[in-house]
Amino acid sequence: MTLPLPTLAEPDHFSLGEKLLFAALAAASLASFLRRFAPIVSRILHAKKDADFHLFPLGRRIWDFFWEVLCQAKVIRQRPLPGLAHALVFWAFCAFVVVTLNHCALVFGSGFLAPASAPGRAYSYFAALFALACAAGILGLFVRRFFLRPRWFGKDLSWESGLIALLIFALMVTYLAAFFAHGPLAVRSLWWAHTLTLLLFLPIIPHTKHLHLVLSPVTIFLSRGGFSRIPLLHGDEDFGLVAGKDLTQIAALQAYSCVECGRCTEHCPANNTGKTLNPKDVVLGLRAYLNALGPASEEPLLGRYNAQEAVFQCTTCGACEFQCPVGIEHLPLIVGLRRGAVNTGAWEDAHGAKFFLALEKGSNALGLPASEREKFIEKNALPLFDGTQEYCLWLGCMGGYDPRGREIVLALVKVLRYLKVSFGVLRKEKCTGDPVRRLGNDLLFQQLAESNLETLTSSKTKKIISICPHCVRTIQEDWKEFGLPPAVEHHSEFLARHLGVLKGHDFSRAESSQEGRVLQVPSLGPGKAQPSSEQKEETEKVVFHDPCYLGRYRNIYDEPRAVVSLAGELVEAPRHKERSFCCGAGGGLAFLGEEKGQRVSHARAAELAATGASVVAAACPFCNTMFRDALAAQGPGAPELVDIAQLAARGLPQNPASNQTENASA
Amino acid sequence: MKIIVAIKQVPERDAPLRIASDAKGIEERELQWAMNEPDAYALEEALQLKEKHGGEVVIVSAGPERVGATIREALAKGADRGIHIVADDLAARDALGVAQLLAAAVKPESPDLVLTGLQSEDLGLGQTGVILAELLNLPHASLILQVEISSADSPQAQIKAKRELEEGWFQSIEMPTPAVLTIQSGGNKLRYATLMGIKRAKTKELRTLDATSLGAAAAPVAVLDKITLPQKKKSTQIIPGAAKEAAATLVEKLKSEARVL
Amino acid sequence: MSVLVILEERNGKISRTSWEAAAAAQQLAGTNPVIAAVLGAQTESLAAEAAAKPFAKVIRVEHALLAPYTPDAFTAALRQLIQKESPTHIVFPHTYQVRDYAPALATRMGQVLLGDVIAIEDGPVFTRQLMQGRLNGEYKHTGSGPCFVSVQAGAFRGSDDAGPQQTKAQIELFRPSLDPAQIRTKPGEPFRGSAQTVDLGSAQLIVSVGRGIREAENLPLVEELAKALGAELAASRPICDNGWLPMERQVGSSGQSVAPKLYLAVGISGAIQHLVGMKGSQCIVAINKDPDAPIFEVADYGIVGDLFEVVPALTEAIKAAR
């Protein structure tokens, strides 16, 4: 071998004393690790079983593990630079598994990666590359944490993070230095330095957030799956997360997996507007509870370790859960804590109680008489659904009662009539239960869901279209507990599918064959909307606000943008698509009175207005109602606020001849 | 102390109303039923008194089988047991006839306090509590917003109640127990129904009493002869004219038509 | 064959609703005499006031135990009076006080009060509201005893003018026999609700202002209107957001829910958050420039116009009418 590259130097033998010392230290290190780790595992295992947990099918789990753990996809995607630095450290650790095994085996003379051998040499260089990357990465993370200090790390510097960074750095340096070591003493010293660092590192893991090294791969693999999936309540004594005894194994596992990276905090609309809620603290509060009281405790979870006020500030926008790199499912936890408080009556809130009472007696979340909805239907001659039409147009509370929501419905009706799609509205409709579901009122939710399911079943509804992403989500996912809901889609999906006919305003061709009507959604990259330039010399700039319940909850991003691009030039807000920032209405908060701190809607409206767009397009009546006041507060020159249905309806003729015939074919 | 709350089941506030073919009642098919809201306030007051002084809250309600659901609702909110006076002929009884049923059921319980809502949302008579007091020969006060009890455990327990007068005035009324109070809405914040409450209510006692066993109904004195739709339908009157003229017309209409000035 | 009407006092005078009850009594009586009664410890001046009206006679039901009001004393006293006079009908104004004792009085005499009557037709047929005004019920009184009726405020046109009658009605004194032991309740002095916080929830008249007012400097315009009406001033959220009025005056989903007799919305377009807070108002008046403003959907009366012209005109009209 004539390569000029240095070779990794290893001690070639160890004295009995060294062997004994190593064995003793290793045993102590391992014992110290287990002394702390075993109780954690025990607490997790002694927690309540997850009643609705199924290991199979494994496909999703394997994929999640591959993508999120091995590829570090979420870590990198949400924070590219620090994410990459973390990934380098992680991959280096993977590469070092073999190195470390060999390192320890050496003591007993059974090293299997002789640096002089071809595979040993190759692997040592492979590992060295990772070691270099890892050292650079950890240095970068160190600088970020101790010098750049992002807000979500909190005010206090975490010295344990510094120590860990130092140890990781030392591990890498002691390994790399061995390539350049001369003389047996230096080689031996480096080996011991590396070993001691390692043995010191091991017991620190369960003492710190670096527990995630061990737990988060398991957490990700075992996650319950589905976004913001609210678990079933089991038996007569399950009211949600009331006390420690209600925390399930997976909830406990997640609580111990938190790495305190603060991604959830960074994106939380409540936390960003000066409220008490910090999703990270919710998780850490549960961990502190488990540490102090264990999983069998009867002490309420809301109290010493988590504030009731905080969990009721959540808009359930899901940004936290979406971003979490270690597989924590925040929404089932937060909604679970709310359920625990509401299902037992512990939550006493004047607005909340009034809201629940109104829905106990009435039909809609706004507390208005149902006759108001009937008047609206009558006045606008909306056809009643009789089972023969293609779509049941679900009005929802906002569409049925809110003047702005009604405008959206009427715009959609105009489009439906133009497209000659047959539809009808239900004579009787109740709130889907979305806000009470998210607020944790299972009794009321069940009553509403069952009542609606009965209406839909008896009216033979097959397909629902709705202007409200909250209704869509609740009908499709949450009602499943109580029956089989009909297919449901959001109007953005419908409009995007019929874009071909709506595009171009060339209505003479609208009467053409049926085939011409259905077009696939053009795929649009982020920020690359293509306005159809031939019709519009001067295009308006339109910024689209992704509703949480359409984007993160339903994974619909391109469809509404395609509709927007009909009317103008799409521009993007800094936070868009899966990182969209909530309007503040979700989670029942639209009905809970004035917020503490800055209004979420104002923060978002300012961001949307700052894009310079002259139009804000929304696709959710709740976002719409929140932004109405918030945009007005931006002062004169604030952008116009419309729903995408209104954009789609704008170019259509006022009274198309086809207006009256929508039922003729049915 | 033992508190009895008399509760009525009424059509849900949103319920579409159709007059029955004999014009003496409303069509009950498709109608949904709920607890009379003023009675919910009476229940809330009773529950708060129980939370403060201990004791028992007993629900009494008269009506057909469907009334059981409303009693269960009250049990779910925290009442201890229920008495259902099964009667299918409530519509044929006047206020005195119904109160006689309630009095017959309440008397053997020897309560310390009887509470009712000020009035019902359907008939709006606002008399049951006062008549009940007269039939039971107990002191009463109506339009009560708050109740305080002193020496609750002794036979000398005294009631001090805040009574609403007209035009923003109030007064406090004192009386010995046992007594009857009719509770004005809005004095307390109502509690919402909870899953836990509903589950616990399943095991609570709900006794049924047959109305016929409580004595024959007296012939009604006040007879509901016919139900009609009110003439006036609420629709917006846009008042035309220049500012001055419109303002004058509006004031006149508010005085003579709407009678709110 | 006479009709007895029970008159109530308010601020030392006979109340307006009592005159309305007298009108209802007159209608029931037809050509038969109407007898009026006033109750209290000292009833001289009230009786004199009543005697100026066309009553057959006015009875002073006087006893030291009739003041302050207690249901026990009133029930016992009136029962004795009714037994003495044997009227066919006894008419009350449907006041809080009447609601407190009249049902017991009727019960004691084996009768049932026909309460809160809004119209009396031939028969007589008594109309009262059912289902919170969504339906009307027509009631008949059967049996032989006296018929007890209370009438809703505003349902009958009463007048406190003396009228053309020259001769005064004869005044009689009636002293019921009352025993202190009969009176089981002890009433306290009336007191006002705490005045520190704005209690829009119990306000009877509300003038509410919205974005249409444009600037804080324009607020006195609506303040004047509220003053002329004797109404509380309220606002929609943007006004309170801007700090032009305190948050406690905000009506709507994030503020207070109100249910006054009159809700006058000035320059309020009617966002849903606002509508849910005031939908329970008995009478809603909207003044707005935009004829399509959603507030007109819920209003009973609307003026489409510039509030800067309409509001001062309205203030003047109200002052003139008072």
- Please, are residues C191 and B169 in contact by the beta-carbon 8 Å criterion? yes
What is the rounded average pLDDT of the residues C244-257? 84
**Among the partner residues C255, C272, C279, nearest to A403 by beta-carbon distance:** C272
Phi-psi region of C174 (alpha: psi -120 to 50; beta: other; left: phi over 0): beta
Contact A107, A19 (CB under 8 A): yes
Give the pLDDT score at A520.
Answer: 39
Tokens of B100: 């006689």
Can you read off the two tokens belonging to residue A65?
Answer: 């593990």
Smallest CA–CA separation between C94 and chain A, in Å?
A: 28
Q: How many Å is the Cα radius of gyration of chain C? A: 24
Q: In this structure, are residues A457 and A390 in contact, taking their beta carbons and an 8 Å threshold? A: no
* Contact between C176 and C41 (Cβ < 8 Å): no
On whether residue B190 sits in a domain, the answer given is: yes
Q: What is the pLDDT of residues A491-521, one digit of tens each?
A: 999 999 999 888 755 433 333 333 333 333 4
Check residues C227 and A535 and name the one with the higher pLDDT.
Answer: C227
Residue B31's pLDDT is 86
3-state secondary structure of B128: helix
Q: How big is the B-C interface in CB pairs under 8 Å?
A: 228
Task: Return the closest-CA partner of residue A175 out of A200, A199, A162, A192.
Answer: A192
User: Could you read off the pLDDT of B93-122 as tens digits, one per residue?
Assistant: 999 999 999 999 999 999 999 999 999 999
Superfamily of domain C3-182: HUPs (3.40.50.620)
Instruction: Say if residue C241's pLDDT is above 60.
Output: yes
Lookup: tokens for C254? 């994030």
Contact C35, C89 (CB under 8 A): no
- Provide the residue range defining the domain that includes B134: 2-214
**pLDDT average, residue stretch B205-231:** 89
Residue C37 has pLDDT above 80, yes or no: yes
Residue among B221, B224, B252 whose CB faces C111 most closely: B221
Residue B164 C-beta-side C-alpha neighbours within 13 Å: 18
What single-letter amino acid sits at A34? L
Q: For residue A529, is pLDDT > 90?
A: no
Q: What is the mean pLDDT of residues C31-54?
A: 95
Q: Give the gap in angstroms from C-alpha A236 to the nearest C-alpha of chain B.
A: 7
| Predicted model pTM | 0.87
Chains that touch B (3 or more CB pairs under 8 A): A, C
Contact C37, C45 (CB under 8 A): no
Do the chains contact at A403 and C237, CB–CB below 8 Å?
A: no
**Most confident range, picked from A52-61, B75-84, C248-257:** B75-84
- pLDDT value for C238: 81
Average pLDDT of B175-196?
Answer: 93
Alpha carbons A82 and A619: distance in angstroms, whole number: 33
Query: Is residue B220 one of the residues assigned to a domain?
Result: no
Mutate: best of C253, C257, C295, partner A, most A CBs <10 A: C253
**Chain C neighbors of A594, CB-CB under 8 A:** 247, 254-255
Q: What is the CATH number of domain C200-321?
A: 3.40.50.1220
pLDDT reading at B224 higher than 90: yes
- The mean pLDDT value for C113-133 works out to 92
Task: For residue C107, give the nearest of B134, B164, B174 by CB distance.
Answer: B134
A64: phi > 0 → left, psi -120 to 50 → alpha, else beta; which? alpha
Q: Which helix (H) or strand (E) holds A391?
A: strand A391-394
Give the mean pLDDT of C69-76. Answer: 98
Contacting partners of chain A (3+ CB pairs under 8 A): B, C
Residue B22 lies in a domain: yes
- Quick one: how far is CA A472 from the chain centroid? 18
| Residues B19-28, mean pLDDT to the nearest whole number | 90
Tell me if B179 is assigned to some domain.
yes
On whether any CB of chain A is under 8 Å from the CB of B234, the answer is: no
Rounded CA-CA distance A54/C107 in Å is 67
Torsion of CA A451, A457, A462, A468, to 10 degrees: -10
Is A365-496 a CATH 3.40.50 domain? yes
* Sign of the Cα pseudo-torsion (C301, C305, C307, C312, in order): negative
Contacts of B8 (CB under 8 A, 6+ apart): B35, B36, B39, B61, B62, B63, B117, B120, B122, B128
pLDDT score recorded for residue C211 = 87
Tell me, what's the pLDDT at B234? 60
On the question of pLDDT at B36 being above 90, the answer is yes
Q: Is B231 among the domain residues?
A: no
The pLDDT of residue A587 is above 90: yes
Q: What is the mean pLDDT of residues C294-319?
A: 92
Chain B residues whose beta carbon lies within 8 Å of the beta carbon of residue A345:
191-192, 194, 196-197
Does the pLDDT value for residue C207 go beyond 60?
yes
Contact state of C191 with B123 under an 8 Å Cβ cutoff: no
Q: In A362-483, which residue ranges form alpha helices assigned H by DSSP?
A: 370-379, 396-401, 403-418, 434-439, 442-458, 469-476
Angle among Cα A459, A462, A468 to the nearest 5 degrees reads 95
Closest-CA residue to C99 (of A334, A274, B117, A265):
B117
> Same fold for the domain at C3-182 and the one at C200-321?
yes
**Is A353 in contact with B198 (Cβ distance < 8 A)?**
no
Range of weakest confidence among A157-161, A580-584, B131-135: A157-161
Mean pLDDT across the stretch A57-70? 94
- Residues B1, B112: contact at Cβ < 8 Å? yes
A441 touches B: beta carbon within 8 Å: yes
Looking at residues A291-310, what average pLDDT do you find? 96
The percentage of residues in chain A with a pLDDT greater than 70, rounded to a whole number, is 92
- pLDDT for A534 equals 44
Rounded to the nearest integer, the mean pLDDT of chain B is: 92
Q: Model confidence over B55-98: pLDDT tens digits?
A: 999 999 999 999 999 999 999 999 999 999 999 988 889 999 99
Domain A505-511+536-653 class in CATH = alpha beta
Q: ∠ CA(C207), CA(C210), CA(C215), 5° rounding? A: 110
| Domains of chain A, residue spans | 16-220, 231-343, 365-496, 505-511+536-653
Counting residues of chain C whose pLDDT is more than 70, the rounded percentage is 96
Closest residue to A344, CB basis, from B34, B37, B196: B196
Q: Could you say which of A366, A590, A629 has the minimum Cβ distance to residue C238?
A: A629
Of A659 and C59, the one with more pLDDT: C59
CB atoms C116 and B239 under 8 Å: no
Q: Is the domain covering A16-220 a CATH 2.60.120 domain?
A: no
Matching fold, domains A16-220 and A231-343: no
The CATH code for residues A231-343 is 1.10.1060
pLDDT of residue C62: 97
Are C301 and B168 inside 8 Å of each other by CB?
Answer: no
Per the structure, the count of domains in chain B is 1
Q: Chain A residue with minimal CA distance to C279? A: A368
